Structure 1
Amino acid sequence: MATGAMADRIRSKLGDLSPAERKVGRVLLAAYPSAGFETVATIAERAHVSAPTVLRFVSRFGFRGFPEFQAALRTELEQRNASPLSLYDTPGYGRPADEGADQGSLLGRAGRIFPSEVAGTLAELPPHDLDQAVRLLADPRLRITLAGGRFTHLLAQYLGLHLMQLREGVQFLPDRAVERTAALAALGRRDLLVLFDYRRYEDDKVAMAELARERGGKLLLFTDTWLSPVAGRADVALPCRVTAPSPYDSLVPTLAVIETVVAGVVESLGEDAHDHLRRAEDVAQRIGLV
């Protein structure tokens, strides 16, 4: 499945297009994003439609012409591949757009950005996807394995530690090569792999997703709004905004989604979660951890 903001827009609008325009959409999705950088004539030939049909297709998405459509696609790819270094001098990422202008205090900027990004993330999250993520995490028949990336391993641990207090069968993907290999080789139909993968996406996450799917396992993905390449293989993908007052992507909206998911798991497990948490507390007291 093609992944990306533009791909999602095309896919969601296919049902509203004419039959000829749908052919254009399918050609673009089949080789996304590279097909979007072909000429109008080439796309028309591949879709077996006329060049004006291709132009009508892009106009359906609010573009005034094909160059504008390609510029939007190029911007999306640049955003997907952005790093803290590339964002450092970008206006709005860690420094005011106009250094001489009054942009407000750091606290003021943070106070505007973080609530907006959290609210936007939760508003854009499809309720069906959230419900499905909760069902997977609360399913006692599934063993859960969590893995994150450079920074997002912290979020994987945050979610996993909560789940460990609520249910059995939760583990983190080990760091050491032999243990990691063994854990991935053991994945099967009763496993749920939970991955965190954000822009500057990591190739090992795609390989892990492929292993889980090949063995009949389930896959839950936390990602950004540009969507990790893993999204096309996931049973559920929960995209989160990442805008921050610094060059670093914010994980605050993802944290809000995690805590929302945890609340759903608590509700879904009901008394079983309560009993499991009580047993965990009893053990912690006996060994002097609380």
Structure 2
Amino acid sequence: MGGNGSGSVAEAIRRRLGECSPAERKVARVLLAAYPSAGFETVAKIAERSGVSAPTVLRFAARLGYRGFSEFQQALREELEQRDASPLSLYKATGFAGRADSPVEELLNSSAETLSASVRDTFAALPPDDLQHAIGLLAETKRRLLITGGRFSGLHARYLGLHLLQLRTDVHLLPDGAVERTAMLTEGGKRDVLVVFDFRRYEPALLDLARLVVKRGGKVILVTDAWLSPISAVADVVLPSQAPATTPYDSLVPALAVTETVVTGVLEALGDAAQEHMSRGEGTAKALGLY
């Protein structure tokens, strides 16, 4: 089967946008706007919604590497299965259930190889323009930064937030409490930037939050996995990580590498202003006996 080899069809579409003709880009926008459901419509329907001809839709599928539109849709079906994968289903799918106790040296070697490859693959597939866009939004000090995540990805959100709090003002980790979160979001508007971490199995509440920020004119930066959270349909910037399932749990190491790269980029972009903010923070902490 053709396609992008790994990751989601949406990710392949985003990567190929620069190669597309104007008509093919119309098809891409229609598919991404209602992803993945739009991809299961007929060629004629997609062409109608895009305002292009049916052959253009077929050429677009071929540009992505598929031998026909049916193969394109089969890739979408397989992706949906991957999106819904749980640790329990991956326990069987990865062959983990049949593994016997192995020497710790084998575990070390396997982890080193797998994690190193995942980080390399993540950076190789990360669009430089998207990374730069994310850094630019986070370094724009007139904007209010809102940061959140899900059950596990919330750990990454907190990690990013704690770093950015040291570099600039107006950084907020969204509270878990309904009253507190509502109060923080009530005054939202065009100057907001929401950074949201969302990995499979994706959380509907995070999509609702992203849609609210977009509706109010704010920006959304999504950090996600290779299958792409549904938030990718509304996000201004998508930063995916590549973590092939080799155990029942997807590795968050590649996403952490992306997060640390973003922090480094923001630190560079802010320059002396970041250093001055860090200095004031250190002084305050020492005055309070915290450090």
Distance 1:211 1:22 in 2: 26
Give the CA deviation at 1:212. 0.9
Q: Which amino acid aligns with 1:138?
A: A
Q: Which moved more, 1:125-134 or 1:67-76?
A: 67-76
Aligned length: 280
Distance 1:26 1:139 in 2: 28
1:68 to 62, 68, 71: 71
Secondary structure of residue in 2 paired with 1:105: helix
- Of the two, which has the highest radius of gyration? 1
Structure 2 unaligned residues grouped into runs of 5+:
1-6
Give the corresponding residue for 1:227.
228
Secondary structure of residue in 1 paired with 2:222: strand
Distance 1:101 1:259 in 2: 32
Contact 2:194 2:221 in 1 (8 A): yes
- CA deviation map 1:159-198 (0-9, x unaligned): 0000111111111111111111111222112221111111
The percentage of aligned residue pairs carrying the same residue is 55
Q: 1:30 to 1:218 in 2, by over 3 A?
A: closer
Give the CA deviation at 1:99. 6.9
Give the corresponding residue for 1:214.
215
- CA deviation map 1:227-281 (0-9, x unaligned): 1111121121111123354211111011111111111111111111111111111
Q: 1:131 to 1:220 in 2, by over 3 A?
A: same
Distance 1:46 1:156 in 2: 37
Q: Which amino acid aligns with 1:107?
A: L
Q: Once superposed, what is the RMSD of the aligned Cα atoms?
A: 3.2
Distance 1:203 1:171 in 2: 21
Q: Which moved more, 1:23-32 or 1:194-203?
A: 23-32
Give the corresponding residue for 1:86.
89
Q: 1:10 to 1:221 in 2, by over 3 A?
A: closer
Structure 1 unaligned residues grouped into runs of 5+:
none
Distance 2:229 2:117 in 1: 23
Secondary structure of residue in 2 paired with 1:144: strand
Give the corresponding residue for 2:129.
128
- CA deviation map 1:79-136 (0-9, x unaligned): 11211111111136x467x87999x811121111101111111111111111111111
Q: 1:244 to 1:34 in 2, by over 3 A?
A: closer
Q: Which amino acid aligns with 1:133?
A: A
